[in-house]
Structure formats: structure tokens, C-alpha cells
A and B are shown apart, each in its own frame.
Chain A
Amino acid sequence: MALTGLEIFKLLPKTNCKKCGMPTCLAFAMQLAQKRAKLDDCPCVSEEAKQTLAAAAAPPMRLVKFGKGERGVQIGQETVMFRHEEKFYSPTVLAVTVSDKLTGEDLKKRIESINALQFERVGAKIGVNAIAVINDSGSADAFAAAAAQAGESSGLALILVSQNPSAIAAAVGKTAEATPLIASAKADTVEAMAKIAKENNCPLVAQAESIEALAELTEKIKSQGVEDIVLSLETRSLRDQLYGLSRMRALSLKKVFRPLGYPTLSFVTDGDSDQQAVAAASLICKYSGIVVVDTVEPYAFLPILTTVMNIFTDPQKPVQVEPKVYSIGEPDKNAPVLFTTNFSLTYYTVESDVEASRVPSYILVVDTEGTSVLTAYSGDKLNEKAVADAMAKYNIEGQVSHRKLIIPGYVAVMSGKLEEATNWEIMVGPRESSMLPKYLQEVWK
């Protein structure tokens, strides 16, 4: 639990030496409480005070990393229940299962199909982040072989799923340098599993049937020296899973209940691809740090990966698109040219309506710092100069042979000045983007 300024003050030297830059120790304590100063700024602080303060300052939910290098992933360190309060911190890690019953060509194909689940969306790359190797065979050797193969044929992070400590030991033996996530330790295997995790410096999943049992289990794991823990609540239904995840999140964030201060993992391996996608989407929204699915259908992944992207967007920052000329369809020299702003919502609305018109077009995106047409206009971020500059910068003149520019209906008032600034004929488009198809089909012709 965060300490108050007075509680911190009691731990300070109380010498008012001013070396921290503050007039008094009390003032410094107040700044610390508000996270506006660092404890390191005080050269005289005692070791004991440092430890007490560090423990109190530890985030309520631990950050856990696994995988290696660039493709390594991290989960946890969330701070809020609702995304409008503050950005959700670690985007959900999506993992796909690989059964160790697969061998040879089948195993290779399965891994390839998982590797292929990478997409590009609005200029960002999104994709599956991890492979969960499942010890279906019951054999430690088969498990180790499948894990080794997954590690070799894919750069994705690994999750090793077995209830058998000797199978885990065998698989970790072949993949330790890739820092796999070990899944999982249960009450009866906790000593053996924690030992493997400790020796190989791997994070460990704690798995139990109730939140109370999970809390007990993480304390045991911690007492064996493993601090990177992931929670997995075994439930009989998706409903129990979702309610359990919400309760654990509230316990860790609102109550700062340390035994549950870890990120979470959920399995969605029942049902067809549609059902898995739907369940995964709900778990992404409601607090599962990792979601493991069975399907490898791209049609199911595109929406669930987009869900991760949207839910983890920073709500304080308007999402922007890159200012440039976008080609919709295959426009030629006679295609219409429209402009709009770089606020992503504005742009995508215009884009989708221009697409719906089936008239190949150019959309010029003017940089308005992520504001909508009217907001940008009233803030003078959208004026004749901004538009003329963008037209020159992205060489729109070189792309079409005509000189006609369609402008948003809401800024019809800038027509005159824009015409002077550009020497282009200004055509006032509709106020509402939804009228663009009709406009392009009927007026533009």
C-alpha cells in the first residue's frame, strides 16, 4: 500500500539538510508521496528506510517477462480496473497450443500455421505472441522434443504446459535460454516446479481451483525464491473465469493484496473457432494477461488481435494516422481528391465511406495533431495554409491531372481562401461522411 507523506517522513533522517533540493525533510516526504521525487535524491537515507519504502512502492501487480530477445513478452503491472482511468499497461499476450502428440511434418505444419498469424493494422504489426506446448502425450521425452522444435522453428515466446515436473524439467532443459513460462505448479507439485523455475530463472504459473488456494500457492512459490509468478484459476465455466479474473484484479489493485499481485493466464480451448474468438475477446477486455487458444484460423485472430489493440490504446492520446496521401481502390489521374484530418476516427470514417462509394479516390490527410475537422478548424490547426502545405508536401499535383479538391462540408467557409492559396477549384463535399458515396457517385461525375 502506498505510504502517506507523514509515514514517509518518519523514515527520513529529519535533518532538513536540503541536499535533496527541498527546504525540509517533510517537504521532500510530501513530494515522494506524490511520486514527484525519487528516494535516491536523499543521500542520508538509511538502508532500512530504503527497504520499507521500496516494498511499499512496488507496483500492486508484478511485471512478468518471458521469451527471449525482441520477441520476448511482458504481462502485468496493471494499475486500474477501467481503461478510462489510465491506460492499460501490458497488452494481452495471445498464445496458441501445440500438442506434443504431433511429430514430424504435422508438428512442423502446426508451428508454421502459428507463425503465420501476423497481421498489419493501421501501420502497426499485430500477431500471436506465444506458443503453448501441451504435454498431451504424457511422455517427458515427447514433450521435450516438441518444446525444442517449437523453440527452434519459431521465435515466439514459449509456454510449457504440463502437470508433470519431470516433463517440465526435460523441456526446460532444452529451452531454458529462451526463458519459457512454466505452466504450472499446483499444490501437490509446487516444490518440484518452483525448484525448476528457480534453477532456470523461469517464471512460473500457479494453478488452483479457488482464489484462496491460489493465494496460498503463490506464497509457497515465493518462499522458494521464485518471484515471477502468473496466476491461473481453474474454473468449470467461462463465467466463473471472468468473475474470478475481475475479483483477483480488484484484490491486487484495490486491496493491494500481495499474494494475488500477479498477472493472469486463461485457457480457451473448448468450442469451435467462433466460440474461442468470442471467449478470447471477453478475456482480453476483462483482465487476462495471457489467453491461450487452440484455433489457428486467421479470421478469428484478426478481430481478437484488434481487440487487444483497441482496449490497450491510451485513452488520453487521440489515435492518429500518418499524414500523407492514401489511395483508396486504384485511383488514376482523373480520380477525385478529398482531404480530411489525421484523427484516426475521422480518417477511418471517411476511408470506409469512400470505399463504400466504389469510386477510386485519393484522400489527403492533413496533420491536425489528431483532432477532428471542426475541432481542428476552430483551433486553427486546419486552415488554408495547412491544407496547401500538405498538398505540396505530398505532391498531390503530380498524382492527378485535374485541379479539383473536395473539402469537408463543415469547413465550406474556408473555400475562398483555400482557392486563393492553392489555385485549385474547391468543391464543397457533404457535412456528414456517410453522404460521401452518393456525393462521389453523383456530384463528382
Chain B
Amino acid sequence: MSVPEIAESFIGSVTQVTLGATEEAGGTRSSTVTVGGSRNVVYGGSIDDTGQKPVIAMDVLDVRPDDWPDALAQPYEDVLDSPADWAKKCVDEFGADLICLKFDGIHPDKGDKDASGAVKVTKEVLGAVGVPLILWGCGNDEKDNQVMPKVSEAAKGENCLIGTVAEDNYKSLTAIALADGHLLITRAPLDINIAKQVNILVSDMGFPLERIVTFQTTGALGYGIEYAYSIQERQRQAALGGDKMMAMPVICDVGYESWRVKEAKLTDAPGWGAVEDRGPMWEATTAICLLQAGADIIRMRHPRAVAAVKNFINQIWAV
């Protein structure tokens, strides 16, 4: 029986963004990563419309984390004190597409390290791995504004993805990212209007729209994921509808969010299965759900969760 055509003509698409700079482009990365480019909703239309395959950025912290559950810390036991070795392990052993260097240690409440330490870590990690980097501040505006410009400068020309900037704190990092040739992450607190507003603000400063990735903030499975899910779906529809201010690829922070929930951490939970299995699966499932809503870059932590999600991505986006 013949069935009707579903001919949807979208006027827009998700911007395609390339991270990292190889030697020819003035950097030192051995390869680049390109994301975005979808021309339809997830699983809509034909497979040709799906765009670039989503990628996984594995988190590396600038300082040894003191609050990671055993199940999460265990695979990294030998490298937690060395961000360079840690990053190398993520790339060589766990297949990370990108490394997200997260500067927790500069936070006033978590070590209050100064810029020189952050710069050193950045250079070490750049030297240890060839994949593109994401450079992510600690979340304290004042400290990020002090330290992240130095970090940016240390990675000048590498075409890193740097962030995050928000509605009420975007000027200094946007300016420096522009000067040092980096891409920018704009952040909004689960609010699609603010998300658009931040993009407008940074583009008013002359930052090119095609060099932005948006972060709508992330809720873990069971802890508000449906908000992030729907905002991402709405963002994709806005992009397809031709809204240039909403056409950026999307990044999610799945690792941090899923490992702080009780289902991932609680050791004594009869009937829930072993905690060693539960944590990775909570992280993997959170990532999978957000992929259904159109995530392009996913920050993750546990190698087993990464393996499960990579396996899924390769099944769906394989050519």
C-alpha cells in the first residue's frame, strides 16, 4: 500500500561547528571534530538529514576530585593527580572524542588555585593529547573572569571551545575568546528565551554566531531531565525554522549531573542492583535521552557509560 509523503521543508538547519586547529590551521591538534549540521528533527526525514554524529567530551579535572563516588573514581585511580595522564587515558583507552578540562580547583570554595596553576594544567593537557579541548570555568564569575582569560591565552590558536558565558557575565570571556581564536559556550538556566538573549548579547560584541555552542544546563535522569529535553527539542525546531540566534549545536553536562544523584551513588539500596552498575547506567541513560532531543556534544565521566553511549551513536550515525 502506498503511504503519504511527509514532506517537510525546513528553511534552517543547525550550524556546523569545527573544534580544534591542526598545524595547518595554526594549532597543534592532531585532528579536529565537527558537530551540528542537522537539517531535520531527530530521526525525521532521511538519514542524510541527520548531520554530524554527536561526540563525547570526557571530563578531566584540574585538581583531584574529593567527592567522586568510588565507582566513578576507580577507573581513574592512577591518574587523578595528573590531568595530563588522565586526559591521555580518556583518549587512548576510553575513546574520548574531546577532552573537557574543568577548572574546579580555581573555585574559591574548592581550592582557590590561581591562574598560573590553571595555565600549567592547560599546557600539559594540550601537550598530552591531540584531540580538541573544551575549557570550562568553575562557575564562580569573579574567579572565572580572573583565570579563564589566562587559560584562553595559553591555548591561543588551538580553536578550543571555552565557557561558559551567561546573560549577566559574558563580556570578558567573549572578548578574550574572540581575540584568542576560540569558540564560545553560551549558558542559560533552562530558559529558552534567556538562551537566545545570551546569543544576541555575545553576537552584539562581534562574536560570530557560527562559532557558538549553547548550553541549556542539564538535569539528570529523574532530576529534571524533561526540562532540558524539551528545551533542546524546541531549540532544534527554532533552528529548523530559520532562527539564526538558536541554530547553534548543543552541549550537555551529563557526567557531573548524573553522578550527583542518589541512584548513582547510594551503596546500600536493596533491589536496585549493584552500585558499580547503577552509576554508569544512570549516566548512560541520561546521555541517551538527551541524544533523542538533539544533543551534539555530551560531557561524560565513566568509561563504561561512555562505551555504551558510543556504541549507540555508532549504530545510529554510522554511514
Instruction: Check B222 for interface membership: any CB of A closer than 8 A.
Output: yes
Closest approach, in angstroms, between the C-beta of A436 and any C-beta of chain B? 11
Contact call B288/A278, Cβ cutoff below 8 A = yes
Query: A145-153, A174-182, A237-245, A415-423: which lies at the B interface?
Result: A237-245
Q: Binding site of A, secondary structure by majority: helix, strand, loop or mixed? A: helix
Instruction: Check B293 for interface membership: any CB of A closer than 8 A.
Output: yes
Residues in A neighbouring B286, C-beta threshold 8 A: 303
Measured in the bound complex, the distance between the Cα atoms of B274 and A349 in whole Å is: 24
Given A247-B6, A297-B273: A277 and B1 interface contact (C-beta under 8 Å): no
Residues in A neighbouring B261, C-beta threshold 8 A: 352
Contact call A307/B273, Cβ cutoff below 8 A = no
Instruction: Check B30 for interface membership: any CB of A closer than 8 A.
Output: no
Give residues 288-305 of A contacting B (CB, 8 Å). Answer: 297-300, 302-304
Residues in B neighbouring A211, C-beta threshold 8 A: 3
Measured in the bound complex, the distance between the Cα atoms of B286 and A45 in whole Å is: 53
Residues in B neighbouring A116, C-beta threshold 8 A: 271
Closest approach, in angstroms, between the C-beta of B195 and any C-beta of chain A? 14
Contact call B6/A278, Cβ cutoff below 8 A = no
Residues in A neighbouring B225, C-beta threshold 8 A: 310
Most buried by A among B271, B291, B309: B271
Measured in the bound complex, the distance between the Cα atoms of B1 and A259 in whole Å is: 9
Contact call A277/B284, Cβ cutoff below 8 A = yes
Query: B124-132, B199-207, B275-283: which lies at the A interface?
Result: B275-283
Contact call A299/B277, Cβ cutoff below 8 A = yes
Give residues 83-98 of A contacting B (CB, 8 Å). Answer: 83-84
Contact call B226/A83, Cβ cutoff below 8 A = yes
Closest approach, in angstroms, between the C-beta of B219 and any C-beta of chain A? 7
Most buried by A among B4, B227, B281, B307: B281
Contact call A348/B224, Cβ cutoff below 8 A = yes
Given A278-B309, A298-B272: A352 and B44 interface contact (C-beta under 8 Å): no
Residues in B neighbouring A239, C-beta threshold 8 A: 47, 315-316, 318
Closest to A244 in B: B43
Give residues 180-212 of B contacting A (CB, 8 Å). Answer: none
Contact call B273/A299, Cβ cutoff below 8 A = yes
Instruction: Check A201 for interface membership: any CB of B closer than 8 A.
Output: no
Given A82-B230, A299-B281: A212 and B2 interface contact (C-beta under 8 Å): yes
Contact call A435/B273, Cβ cutoff below 8 A = no
Contact call B273/A315, Cβ cutoff below 8 A = no
Residues in A neighbouring B285, C-beta threshold 8 A: 277-278, 281, 303-304, 306-307
Instruction: Check A322 for interface membership: any CB of B closer than 8 A.
Output: no
Instruction: Check A425 for interface membership: any CB of B closer than 8 A.
Output: no
Contact call A83/B271, Cβ cutoff below 8 A = no
Contact call B222/A306, Cβ cutoff below 8 A = yes
Closest approach, in angstroms, between the C-beta of A176 and any C-beta of chain B? 31
Residues in A neighbouring B278, C-beta threshold 8 A: 299, 302
Most buried by A among B1, B44, B274, B277: B1
B 128-164 binary contact with A (CB < 8 Å = 1; else 0)? 0000000000000000000000000000000000000
B 13-57 binary contact with A (CB < 8 Å = 1; else 0)? 000000000000000000000000000011110010000000000
Contact call B260/A275, Cβ cutoff below 8 A = no
Residues in A neighbouring B316, C-beta threshold 8 A: 238-239, 242
Contact call B293/A274, Cβ cutoff below 8 A = no
Closest approach, in angstroms, between the C-beta of B267 and any C-beta of chain A? 12
Residues in A neighbouring B6, C-beta threshold 8 A: 247, 250-251, 254-255
Closest to B258 in A: A303
Residues in B neighbouring A212, C-beta threshold 8 A: 1-3
Instruction: Check B172 for interface membership: any CB of A closer than 8 A.
Output: no
Given A83-B229, A306-B221: A245 and B43 interface contact (C-beta under 8 Å): yes
Contact call B292/A274, Cβ cutoff below 8 A = no
Closest to B288 in A: A281
Most buried by B among A245, A254, A310: A310
Closest approach, in angstroms, between the C-beta of B141 and any C-beta of chain A? 12
Residues in B neighbouring A281, C-beta threshold 8 A: 285, 288-289, 292
Closest approach, in angstroms, between the C-beta of B146 and any C-beta of chain A? 19
Instruction: Check B223 for interface membership: any CB of A closer than 8 A.
Output: yes
Instruction: Check B85 for interface membership: any CB of A closer than 8 A.
Output: no
Instruction: Check A219 for interface membership: any CB of B closer than 8 A.
Output: yes
Give residues 373-415 of A contacting B (CB, 8 Å). Answer: none
Specify which of B109, B223, B307, B308 is in contact with A349 (CB 8 Å cutoff): B223
Contact call A84/B308, Cβ cutoff below 8 A = no
Instruction: Check B304 for interface membership: any CB of A closer than 8 A.
Output: yes
Measured in the bound complex, the distance between the Cα atoms of B273 and A116 in whole Å is: 12
Given A238-B316, A251-B6, A307-B289: A274 and B308 interface contact (C-beta under 8 Å): yes
Measured in the bound complex, the distance between the Cα atoms of B277 and A299 in whole Å is: 6
Contact call B289/A216, Cβ cutoff below 8 A = no
Closest to A239 in B: B316
Instruction: Check A282 for interface membership: any CB of B closer than 8 A.
Output: yes
Instruction: Check B167 for interface membership: any CB of A closer than 8 A.
Output: no
Contact call A299/B272, Cβ cutoff below 8 A = yes
Contact call A300/B281, Cβ cutoff below 8 A = yes
Instruction: Check A130 for interface membership: any CB of B closer than 8 A.
Output: no
Specify which of A246, A251, A315, A437 is in contact with B4 (CB 8 Å cutoff): A251
Contact call A302/B272, Cβ cutoff below 8 A = yes
Instruction: Check A424 for interface membership: any CB of B closer than 8 A.
Output: no
Instruction: Check A286 for interface membership: any CB of B closer than 8 A.
Output: yes
Given A299-B273, A310-B221: A315 and B284 interface contact (C-beta under 8 Å): no
Give residues 215-264 of A contacting B (CB, 8 Å). Answer: 215-216, 219, 237-239, 242-243, 245-247, 250-251, 254-255, 257, 259-260
Closest to A116 in B: B271
Residues in A neighbouring B109, C-beta threshold 8 A: 435, 438
Residues in A neighbouring B293, C-beta threshold 8 A: 285
Closest approach, in angstroms, between the C-beta of A80 and any C-beta of chain B? 11
Contact call B43/A286, Cβ cutoff below 8 A = yes
Closest to B314 in A: A239
Closest approach, in angstroms, between the C-beta of B295 and any C-beta of chain A? 12
Give residues 345-386 of A contacting B (CB, 8 Å). Answer: 345, 348-349, 351-352, 355-356
Instruction: Check B89 for interface membership: any CB of A closer than 8 A.
Output: no
Contact call A84/B277, Cβ cutoff below 8 A = no
Residues in A neighbouring B219, C-beta threshold 8 A: 345
Specify which of B2, B221, B233, B307 is in contact with A303 (CB 8 Å cutoff): B221
Closest approach, in angstroms, between the C-beta of B197 and any C-beta of chain A? 18
Residues in A neighbouring B67, C-beta threshold 8 A: 356, 437
Chain A to chain B contacts (Cβ below 8 Å), 17 pairs:
A83-B229, A84-B230, A84-B233, A121-B222, A243-B43, A257-B3, A274-B284, A274-B304, A278-B284, A278-B285, A281-B292, A297-B273, A297-B277, A299-B274, A299-B281, A310-B229, A352-B223
Known pairs A119-B271, A282-B291, A282-B292. 16 more at Cβ < 8 A?
Answer: A82-B237, A212-B3, A238-B316, A239-B318, A250-B6, A259-B3, A275-B308, A286-B292, A303-B281, A303-B286, A306-B263, A311-B229, A311-B289, A344-B224, A348-B223, A349-B223
